[in-house]
Structure 1
Amino acid sequence: MNDYTFQFDKVSRRYPHFQLQDINLKLPTGGIMGLIGPNGAGKSTLIRILMGLIAADEGTVTVLGQPIPEQQQAAKRHIGFASEDMRLYKNATLDWHMSLIGRIYPEQWDSKYANHLLKAFDLIAEQKIKGMSHGQRVKSGLLLMLARHPKFLILDEPTTGLDPVARKEVLNEMIAVLQDEERSILFSSHNTQDVEQISDQITFIDRGTLVSSNDKESFIEEWRRVRMRTPENLMLQADGNIKELIRQGANTTLLVRGLTDQMVTDWQQQGATIQHIDYLSLEEIFVAEVEAKRQGDNS
């Protein structure tokens, strides 16, 4: 068994108006990585390289132990892909699609699990795709992928456009899938709430570069928002650990990476009154990480 589901080693891909630059990234077997970035950040390019749809200009890519794109066919037998705009045959029924995938993957297709997903996703096998809502089409695509038990699931914005009930159904099934410790997931999204719910590793990407990648708990523990009342003579500036400073009269709010007890003690000794020290949401951490990276690039 391979230690890593995929590995990027110094991977770059150049376009006339965009570059994916020097990506070093790996996902341990059984891991769940949330890939977060704004539109145009490079998420789709990274996924297309993983799938062997395009080749990197530089660097090497390995997926499920296979070099990509050279051995993409061997890897793809064990890869499941789903996105919010999956194209199914609109004049065919879901049952027809299930039979088709069952014939393509006879050794992997699990009819019992497919029927379970039909009920879990509240889908009707005899319904034609063209008569389905957007949410039903997304869930149909997920059913067709999950029911053949791929070792590696690549989910590209799978919950975009889903109503809250459909999103919960999809995420619950993803959580159930994760009980198999040898199955890995790459969950690409700009919806940080969905990513935070199921991922154990988070990767931030922006403007074609890797901003940061770490386990979720480390990100959450690293950042704090500090609210305090400060005297006029307390000199604070956004540098080092303090990544953002907002001052409104005597009220000061700081975004701090790597807050220590000593920092708090120093501020108190200088006359500050600490009011609240809070964790940041994953979305706030993403924005803070990106802004810190951009400031570092521009300095």
Structure 2
Amino acid sequence: MSDFAFQMHQVAKQYPHFQLQNIDLQLPNGGIMGLIGPNGAGKSTLIRILMGLIAADKGTTEVLGHNMPNHQALAKVNIGFVSEDMRLYKNATLQWHMDFIQRIYPEQWNQKYAVSLLSKFDLISEQKIKGMSHGQRVKSSILLMLARQPKLLIFDEPTTGLDPVARKEVLNEMMVVLNDEDRSILFSSHNTQDVEQLSDQITFIDRGEIVSSDDKESFIENWRRIRLHADSPLTISVDQHVKEVINQGRNTTLIMHQFNESMLRQWTQQGAVVKGVEYMSLEEIFVAEVEAKRSGVAA
């Protein structure tokens, strides 16, 4: 049995106007990875390769110990997938879908858990899909996936388009699932707040390439916003640590990577006063990482 829920090595996929390239990524068993990127960054393409829905042009992909896409049938027994645009049968009821999934996965299906999710998500099993709101359809898809208890759960933008109440219900149930150390989760989103709340490992993707991948605590600890004040102009250049310099008269703001306190001395020796050293949000870190990558500044 592999120590990883999935492993991707030098994976690439070429399209006429887009290329997924040089993807090296792995998720340990029991891990929770948040995959963050703007629309069109390559998140869905990466997930489709993991699911065996498309074949990569080069590289290797292994999911739950099985090579993809050659052995996808073996892997998919233990993969659960939900996206915000899941296609359910509109003229069928939720109960019909539950019975259908139970027939396919009789040994994995947990009827007691399914019934509890009906209550938690405020869903009616006899309601037809076509009569449901967008939020109800998303919650129905999540119920159908969770109740068969897969080992790898893949969520592709699951909270997109949900109202605040539905979004909270979905996130709360995902938090419950996260406590099960036997399950691994890949959570794709452009909403950094959701990812920050749920994930212990973060991966940034942009323009088909992995920008950065690390545990959440390392991202938060390594980045700072520095506020300086000086009576005369400071000489500060963008480098591997200083990712951005914002000058506003006598005030200067720096966006810094791999920060440590000793770095402040070089500016205080120039006569600057340190007005603030602040942690950055995951969204701010993502923007800084992507802009540094696009400008060619090494992280």
**Residue 264 of structure 1: aligned partner:** 264
Partner of 2:276: 276
**Corresponding residue number in structure 2 for 1:81:** 81
Residue equivalent to 2:167: 167
Q: 1:296 aligns to what?
A: 296
The within-5 A match list for 1:146-165 is 146-165=146-165
Aligned residues: 298
SS of aligned partner of 2:127: coil
Cα separation, 2, equivalents of 1:259 and 1:151 = 37
The equivalent of 1:243 in structure 2 is: 243
TM-score (norm 2): 0.97
| Distance (whole Å) between structure 1 residues aligned to residue 127 and residue 47 of structure 2 | 31
Taking the TM superposition and a 5 Å limit, the aligned residue runs for 1:59-74 are 59-74=59-74
User: Is 2:7–2:63's contact at 8 Å kept on the other side of the alignment?
Assistant: yes
1:105 matched to which residue of 2?
105
1:55 is displaced (CA, Å) by 0.5
Task: State how far apart, in whole Å, the 2-side matches of 1:288 and 1:231 are.
Answer: 27
- Secondary structure, aligned partner of 2:100: helix
Offset from partner CA, 1:94-120 (integer Å, 9 cap, x none): 111111111111001100000110111
Say whether 1:29 aligns with 2:3. Answer: no
Structure 1 runs, 4 residues or longer, greater than 3 Å off: none
After superposition, residues 107-256 of structure 1 pair within 5 angstroms as 107-256=107-256
Secondary structure at 1:2 match in 2? coil
- 2:168 and 2:241 mapped to 1: Cα distance? 37
C-alpha separation between the residues in 1 aligned to 2:94 and 2:233? 69
Contact 2:33 2:187 in 1 (8 A): yes
CA shift, 1:288, in A, is 0.5
Tell me how far apart the structure 2 counterparts of residues 144 and 227 of structure 1 sit (CA, whole Å).
49
- Cα distance in 1 for residues equivalent to 2:260 and 2:43: 34
CA shift at 1:234, angstroms? 2.4
Q: CA RMSD in A?
A: 1.2
Displacement after TM superposition at 1:179 (Å):
1.4
CA distance in 2, matches of 1:68, 1:297: 34
Gaps of 5+ in 1: none
The residue identity in structure 1 corresponding to 2:242 is I
Task: Report the AA paired with residue 47 of structure 2.
Answer: I
Whole-angstrom CA distance in 2 between matches of 1:62 and 1:8 = 7
Compute the displacement of 1:277 (Å): 1.0
Deviations 1:66-116 (A, max 9, x none): 000000000000000001111111111111111111111100110000011
Once residues 58 and 231 of structure 2 are traced to their aligned partners in structure 1, the CA distance between those partners, rounded to angstroms, is: 54
- Displacement of 1:40 in angstroms is 0.8
CA distance in structure 2 between the partners assigned to 1:240 and 1:50 by the alignment = 33
Q: Distance in 2 between matches of 1:72 and 1:250?
A: 60
After TM superposition, the score normalised by the length of structure 1 is: 0.97
The DSSP-based 3-state class of the residue aligned with 2:296 is helix
Give the C-alpha shift of residue 61 in structure 1: 0.5
How far is 1:297 from its partner? 7.2
Report Cα offsets for 1:247-275 as digits up to 9, x if no partner.
11111111011222222123223221111
Equivalents in 1 of 2:72, 2:240: separation in Å? Answer: 44
Percent sequence identity over matched residues? Answer: 70
Give CA-to-partner distance per residue, 1:176-235, whole Å, 9 cap, x none: 011111100000110110011010000011111111100011011110001121231421
Do the aligned partners of 2:243 and 2:297 also contact (CA within 8 Å) in 1?
no
Q: 1:54 corresponds to which residue?
A: 54
